[in-house]
Structure 1
């Protein structure tokens, strides 16, 4: 294209950002609409894509940001292979693929414990050894969850040694599991989620389960509110994030935990596709977009 004097006219092309989702959420989830708007304001072209769609040319994007890939845990090997393909194609992924792969298996909690992070007491048990591990906790109220899971899938709670828990275990698939004590603070006080953007504290929410439940996800009636956290929560969350030993601070992170006896205990360090509660904080999406821009500059 030329102008009236015959000189070429430069056409500015907006960098394209793929916001990767699962097929069940092919379009952007409502919680990511502020991010898409902020990216457009920052000069990017955000496009919702399904990560399992074979027709997508991922190499046509300047970066892939993992958002609602909420089926990665049921297609784990496929997910890891897809991340490898993005690496091979030279497409930046946020968060970085090595950090995502490490974070996809909850046994990372034991690594963080070795690095001095206070975690909810946890044991890892392969399916064949699960009953043996549970048998050593006879009479204790416990939670059992797969090390690769999300949204409380295949998560059960009960008293070790009880017939009820034994029957629930009969229905569990052959997998590797985390076995943890059930801490009543999650019902009485709630679960803290501390959100970081580009390594900086952004905001904190307190999630509470519905009456009689222990799952804080809104799928099960859980609620969340923006709150000012106590010092113990901030100190514990910062220590957990630092212990991940990432080459660079994650572009986004959510640190989940509870306070027990005045101490923050890490439940999960979410670095893949966590819900970040962006709609609760007016400028959080802008800061998220700025963090993405910073990694691509």
Structure 2
């Protein structure tokens, strides 16, 4: 059995600063490849954009494909081409397509999943968006591109600056109220592997920032959730309309309960190195598809 562990050809364009240890970003890939190797599977890292003999592989597992945000249509077409050669793609392409645009947050809300409220916006409808924000009573906002990874292009601003900011945007964005809990309690990431919650992490932003991401100096630590929080995440995961090998559910406490900030089904860092046995869980989830 052969598995391609898909990665990026290069880091996405928004990373314009030096990262001291780029290799460390791919730890999840190495741990998964090692876990598959222990199970007798020949697993190799390949860029999704490689001109590889995909017919020689049984399965392609999406992992560190972060540069897809720079060329989304090409990425989706490449995944279709890989499957057309008889190599299945996991997570499934339908889930990838759905998750590649943050409109999925609206879909989640319609499914009854608690999300941090969102308003879709663009430069051509900025006055209507400003009225909707005022009606909702949001004073401090976060504006993010509908397609993006790693906090790229995400801006925190006062509602009074929204119209001017939207005038400078080049594509659709989402507007959300800022969740103050990010700065003190932090946000939580729950890794769901093979349908089960594997582990949870607490992420806090660096001083003076609001993005709880390690590439911006944020901190990450293991977290033991309360039983009630864990139950909420399990119920949320059960609502997702796809059979998934992995997911990362990023949540923050807002208006008294956990709400989804992001649902990552394409290329999330799962922090497998911070949870013993999680790489093996992912390898077993992958093998279930190889054996069927």
Distance 1:252 1:182 in 2: 28
Distance 1:131 1:270 in 2: 31
Q: Deviations over 1:121-149 (max 9, x none)?
A: 11112442245313543571101111111
Change (3 A) 1:39 1:131: farther
Check whether the contact 2:61–2:90 (CA below 8 A) recurs between aligned residues: yes
Structure 2 SS opposite 1:161: helix
Structure 2 SS opposite 1:29: helix
The answer to whether residue 37 in structure 2 is matched with residue 40 in structure 1 is: yes
Change (3 A) 1:81 1:131: farther
Distance 1:264 1:238 in 2: 12
Structure 2 SS opposite 1:73: helix
Match of 2:125 in 1: 129
Q: Deviations over 1:211-235 (max 9, x none)?
A: 1211011110011111111234223
Structure 1 SS opposite 2:83: helix
Q: Name the Cα RMSD after superposition.
A: 1.9
Taking structure 1 as the reference length, what is the TM-score of the superposition? 0.87
Distance 1:131 1:213 in 2: 28
Check whether the contact 1:156–1:168 (CA below 8 A) recurs between aligned residues: no
Taking structure 2 as the reference length, what is the TM-score of the superposition? 0.89
Select between 58-67 and 131-140 the one with higher mean Cα deviation: 131-140
Check whether the contact 1:21–1:51 (CA below 8 A) recurs between aligned residues: yes
Distance 2:8 2:132 in 1: 39
Match of 2:182 in 1: 186
Check whether the contact 1:154–1:172 (CA below 8 A) recurs between aligned residues: no
Distance 2:139 2:263 in 1: 25
Match of 1:276 in 2: 270
Structure 2 SS opposite 1:236: helix
Long gaps (5+) in structure 1: 1-14
Q: Deviations over 1:219-267 (max 9, x none)?
A: 1001111111123422332232222211x3x111111101234311111
Q: 2:247 aligns with which of 237, 248, 253?
A: 253
Match of 1:80 in 2: 76
Structure 2 SS opposite 1:206: strand
Question: What is the count of residue pairs matched by the alignment?
Answer: 277
Q: 1:52 aligns with which of 28, 35, 49?
A: 49
Check whether the contact 1:134–1:179 (CA below 8 A) recurs between aligned residues: no
Residue 89 of structure 1: how far off its partner (Å): 2.1
The answer to whether residue 12 in structure 2 is matched with residue 16 in structure 1 is: no
Residue 284 of structure 1: how far off its partner (Å): 0.9
Q: 1:71 aligns with which of 47, 67, 72?
A: 67
Check whether the contact 1:112–1:240 (CA below 8 A) recurs between aligned residues: no
Long gaps (5+) in structure 2: 12-21
Q: Deviations over 1:268-295 (max 9, x none)?
A: 1111110001001121111111111111
Match of 1:244 in 2: 240
Check whether the contact 1:240–1:255 (CA below 8 A) recurs between aligned residues: no
Match of 1:4 in 2: none
Distance 2:224 2:33 in 1: 27
Which one has the largest radius of gyration?
1
Distance 1:293 1:63 in 2: 9
Match of 1:116 in 2: 112
Check whether the contact 1:236–1:265 (CA below 8 A) recurs between aligned residues: no
Change (3 A) 1:166 1:129: closer
